[in-house]
A = this chain, B = another copy of it.
Amino acid sequence: MSVSITQAIRGSFFDIAATVSHPRQLPEQARYIEDGLLLLNGGKIISLQRWEEGQHQLTDAVIVTDYRGKLIVPGFVDTHIHYPQTEMIGAFGEQLLEWLQQYTFPTERQYHCPDYSAKMSAFFLHQLLSNGTTTALVFGTVHPQSVEALFSAAEVLEMRLIAGKVMMDRHAPEYLTETPEQSYDQTRELIERWHKRGRLGYALTPRFAPTSSPALLAKVQQLKTEYPDTWMHTHLSENPQEIAWVIALFPDHDGYLDVYHQYQLTGRRSVFAHCVHLAEEEWDCLHHTHSAIAFCPTSNLFLGSGLFNLQTCWDKGVKMGMGTDVGAGTTFNMLQTLGEAYKVGQLQHYKLAAYEAFYHATLGGARALDLDDHIGNFTAGKEADFVVLDPAVSALQQMRYANSRDICEKLFVLMTLGDDRNIAHTWVNGKCVWQQQKEEKAA
């Protein structure tokens, strides 16, 4: 072999081999190797194969990390999360617009302070890693220093993380607004410094249409033209009142999505969080423009926003990934997020099977972020981000896991009963960057 093996990991592996256009294709793409061997060269995957087939490649110089008894899956991809809402997770009693005014804006104000931003960035990334999430698309606050702190911390961890400072110039407290020109200048500066630095990427981040004047949206469009390989990350059709507000604010546009679309903010690297109440032509527009959706079930339930339609998403051929949407979401944990996604499906007679759920949380999420050439499964050449799951950390899980018939059912047990206790180790770019402390583990 021409590349040298720097790491070898033995355990059970599960991933989805290729992206699909329909969930019925997933069983044939689902790959489960009960006794597998993953070989790495630095941060890259050399191969994943059955232990008995691969072990001859190992020389005495290679130490095998033995995770037998554990289940190793690609690192989770969180396609929508607000790091400056970590400390307000689970805020009581409001739906979207009041929730922003009452809780979100005062909380985000604190990120004016670089030290506070640095402290919370470290906390936030620790939450991601301790929940097995290795890639996220992250909202900062309007303050450039919020994103500066987050990128700095993620760079040290070598995470593939995409983030951006919020852009907003109206309908928010003065302490969180800016002029379109300031927004352009500060964003541009951040892009120049952070976009494509190591594994980091920059996302243009207009909060949502209501906090964006036409002049601000024109600046976002200008930046997207100047930096076409940046991402665009915003909210869309989360809540009926929000939609009515957008229509009132932008009477010349043909609906909510059309506001973004007319400013050319749809496209392959555009990610729209929520999309709970899309009109038919909005689904079509997302499809035609290769835009993606972040489905955030715990948030949609917690804020009472509504039920995302998984069936329509497949039927319309729109890319989709999972988002926790902390702080409106109630957990950083992707297993719990998938469990809630199942419930959203059930309320609409949609059966979210475990293969599909794990696809959305890994390769599907990577595709939604246009990163499926880099992450999302164990394909040779991809970056070595993965999570080592302890499949049964409680007596109840042990019982259910033991009486599950196949890997699909075992994965379903994980997404129904699992939480952060099931995350044993998290690897980023070929290194174990987090592991469960013994005293943190349930017996």
Contacts and interface: CB of A to CB of B under 8 A. Distances in A.
Interface of A: 86-90, 92-93, 95, 123, 126-127, 301-304, 306-307, 330-332, 339, 342-343, 345-349, 351, 353-354, 394-396, 399-400, 403, 409, 412-413, 416-417, 419-421, 437-443
Contact of A304 (B306, B346, B416): B346
Given A307-B347, A330-B417, A332-B396, 15 more contacts: A86-B399, A89-B396, A90-B400, A90-B412, A92-B354, A93-B351, A93-B353, A127-B395, A302-B343, A304-B343, A331-B417, A438-B439, A439-B439, A439-B441, A440-B442
Nearest to A297: B343
A171 B167 CA distance: 61
A309 to B, nearest CB: 14
Contacts of A90: 400, 412-413, 416-417
A18 to B, nearest CB: 24
Contacts of A330: 339, 416-417
A333 to B, nearest CB: 10
9 contacts: A86-B396, A87-B400, A90-B400, A90-B416, A92-B354, A304-B349, A306-B347, A394-B420, A440-B443
Given A86-B396, A127-B396, A442 B421 contact: yes
A400 to B, nearest CB: 6
Nearest to A349: B304
B399 A87 contact: yes
A346 B303 contact: yes
B353 A92 contact: yes
B87 A123 contact: no
A339 B298 CA distance: 11
A403 B346 contact: no
Contact of A302 (B92, B307, B346, B353): B346
Contact of A301 (B126, B304, B347): B347
Contacts of A420: 394
Contact of A395 (B123, B301, B302, B306): B123
Given A301-B347, A396-B127, A437-B443, A416 B89 contact: yes
A233 B251 CA distance: 56
A342 B441 contact: no
A353 to B, nearest CB: 7
A443 B302 CA distance: 27
Contacts of A304: 343, 345-349
A332 B420 CA distance: 17
Contacts of A93: 351, 353
A186 to B, nearest CB: 28
Nearest to A330: B416
A95 B442 contact: no
Contact of A89 (B345, B351, B417, B442): B417
Q: 9 tightest A-B contacts by CB? A: A304-B346, A90-B416, A301-B343, A93-B351, A92-B412, A440-B442, A440-B443, A304-B347, A439-B443
From A307, A349, A437, A442, residue with most partner B Cβ within 10 Å: A442
Nearest to A354: B92
A346 B87 contact: no
A97 to B, nearest CB: 13
A420 B421 CA distance: 12
Contacts of A127: 395-396
Contact of A95 (B89, B331, B346, B403): B346
